[in-house]
Chain A
Amino acid sequence: MSDDYLWDGSGEPDPEVQRLEKLLQKARYRPPARRFAPPRSRVALPIAAAVVLLVPSALAIYQALRPVGSVHVTRHREGLSNGAAVGSRLYEGNWLETDSRTHAEIAVANLGEVKVAPSSRVRLVSARQSEQRLELARGQIQARISAPPRLFIVDTPSATAVDLGCEYSLTVSNSGAGELKVTFGYVELTGQGKTALVPAGALCETLPGRGPGVPFAADAPPTWREALNRLDFEGDTSALGVVLEQARRSDALTLWHLLSRVDVAARQRVSQRLIALVPLPAGVSEQDVLQLRKSALDKWWDAIDDSP
């Protein structure tokens, strides 16, 4: 038998190679879930219930067995902060709290640094090779991270920010609402079953119990932002008209996110407006988009991302 099938999958299939391919594919590299998150399925609720039941015991085991990771507090400016002195280590579970005059800076492994603004409260959740994770309870951080995607994560009361290779600032108010502003690269925000991919030059707001809103260009006009806010967080569908009519080319990222947030009837209106701003790429039909097919949405995102 020729080895063409083994070489490039052409020619007569080799049954033994096919069997091994099928058997071994479960060990294949699986990229972390990215971009578009399909709606939750009906199994989500039972799974969530199981998680609620299992988490306390899992946490207890984790607390007993956890490896102690740490990050360095490298610099303070003006006064002292509660939690750690300059040069000290912040261990997993430790809080760093800055007062109204204090700035702090944390070196995160060899990935980059996090500047902590005054009146902020930050906890080191984990510091491992495979995950560096902080919690921002309130205040503001500015992160500058040079790492493979998804290695640096920040939890907030209303969403989780996953670094995809970037620089950004993240602000959390006393009510737990947040605002992410990306200045370089991309950040993914997740929470309450929603996902937002926020590129450089965009902002995204989050609310407790509501998760991340749709991201928008930092230079979007205030009236348009206000309409988007009413649509996104207050469910005021009458604001959709303003959002679509006044959308600019740089607002395409917002309309792309809206596709999966609005109901079926509104989806076609969003799709039509988005097509006018950024044509569908080759091989993608509007029907695929309306059915929220992941591959179609990803290709359109790439077109939005690549075009000027």
Chain B
Amino acid sequence: MPKASPAELVVEAARRGDRAAFGRVFEQFAPMVHGILLARLPSQDADDLLQEVFLLALERLDTLRSAPAVGGWLAMIARNRAVDFHRTRPTLVALPPNLSIADPRRSEAAEVLAMIRTLPEAYREPLVLRLVEGMTGPEIAEQVGLTPASVRVNLHRGMQLLREKLGQEEEL
């Protein structure tokens, strides 16, 4: 029987009701969950929903199939919560991201993030996790529960599309 990793031991402890262990799960996976939310929502909303995702996870810990699956399970809760958020919030008219001229780099960052959010869904998450959260491809694959090969392909294609969009932006 393969030996459980330290991360798996922590998840097992959290499932047994060890709240300190759940705190460590939070610390370990918060950047990944934040990245998944940020791939779908503006920065402020992603920050707000982060705690909610972990609260939902805490309530549903008994539905987690196995400790190694915790990353994919958290990712799924985050995706579902982002969808619910879109569905339930009032219709708002988004202000242009460059409305504030106080910090041009901040507005450029918001523009690039908005651009990433227009890409096909499969490409958004790996790009945000790599470029914003600073995770490597192998780390993304391990935490989100995907194969390294599919993450690599999605990163490559997503970056290609993003370069094209950035190029079009410059031409305008």
Interface residues, chain A, with chain B CB atoms under 8 Å away? 3, 6-9, 16-17, 20-21, 23-29, 31, 110-111, 129-130, 145-149, 151, 164-166, 184-186, 200
Interface string of B33-63 (1 = CB under 8 A from A): 0110010000100001011101100110000
Partner of A23, one of B30, B43, B105: B105
Q: Is the CB of A129 within 8 A of B52?
A: yes
Q: Is the CB of B163 within 8 A of A29?
A: no
Q: Is the CB of B113 within 8 A of A6?
A: no
Residues on A with C-beta less than 8 A from B31 are 28-29
A8 to B38, CA, bound (A): 21
Q: Which residue of B lies closest to A34 (CB)?
A: B27
A279 to B120, CA, bound (A): 52
Q: Is the CB of A7 within 8 A of B19?
A: no
Partner of B136, one of A7, A17, A25: A7
- A interface majority secondary structure: mixed
B20 in contact (CB, < 8 A): yes
Residues on A with C-beta less than 8 A from B133 are 28-29
If the complex has contacts A17-B159, A27-B132, A148-B51, are A184 and B109 also in contact, measured as CB distance less than 8 A?
Answer: no
16 chain-A/chain-B pairs, Cβ below 8 angstroms: A3-B152, A6-B159, A17-B159, A20-B112, A20-B131, A23-B112, A28-B133, A29-B34, A29-B35, A110-B55, A130-B51, A146-B58, A147-B19, A148-B54, A164-B23, A186-B23
Residues on A with C-beta less than 8 A from B34 are 28-29
Q: How far is the CB of A109 from chain B (nearest CB, A)?
A: 8
Given A149-B23, A186-B23, 11 new contacts (CB under 8 A):
A6-B155, A7-B155, A23-B109, A25-B132, A26-B106, A26-B109, A27-B132, A146-B19, A147-B58, A151-B51, A165-B19
Q: Is the CB of A27 within 8 A of B38?
A: yes
Residues on B with C-beta less than 8 A from A8 are 136-138
Interface string of B126-158 (1 = CB under 8 A from A): 000011111011100000000000001001100
Residues on A with C-beta less than 8 A from B26 are 148-149
B123 in contact (CB, < 8 A): no
Q: Is the CB of B19 within 8 A of A166?
A: yes
If the complex has contacts A129-B51, A148-B51, are A7 and B152 also in contact, measured as CB distance less than 8 A?
Answer: yes
Interface residues, chain B, with chain A CB atoms under 8 Å away? 19-20, 22-23, 26-27, 30-31, 34-35, 38, 43, 48, 50-52, 54-55, 58-59, 105-106, 108-109, 112-113, 130-134, 136-138, 152, 155-156, 159, 162-163, 166
A149 to B20, CA, bound (A): 9
A24 to B166, CA, bound (A): 14
Residues on A with C-beta less than 8 A from B156 are 3, 6
A71 to B19, CA, bound (A): 22
Q: Is the CB of A130 within 8 A of B30?
A: no
Q: Which residue of A lies closest to B57 (CB)?
A: A148
Q: Is the CB of B22 within 8 A of A165?
A: yes
Q: Which residue of B lies closest to A146 (CB)?
A: B19
Q: Which residue of A lies closest to B23 (CB)?
A: A165
Q: Which residue of B lies closest to A20 (CB)?
A: B131
Closest 4 CB pairs of A and B: A29-B34, A165-B23, A165-B19, A148-B54
A149 to B14, CA, bound (A): 13
Q: Which residue of A lies closest to B31 (CB)?
A: A29
A129 to B81, CA, bound (A): 14
Residues on B with C-beta less than 8 A from A111 are 55
A185 to B17, CA, bound (A): 11
A130 to B156, CA, bound (A): 36
Residues on A with C-beta less than 8 A from B51 are 129-130, 148, 151
Q: How far is the CB of B20 from chain A (nearest CB, A)?
A: 4
Q: Is the CB of B163 within 8 A of A16?
A: yes
Q: Which residue of A lies closest to B34 (CB)?
A: A29
Residues on B with C-beta less than 8 A from A9 are 136
A184 to B17, CA, bound (A): 11
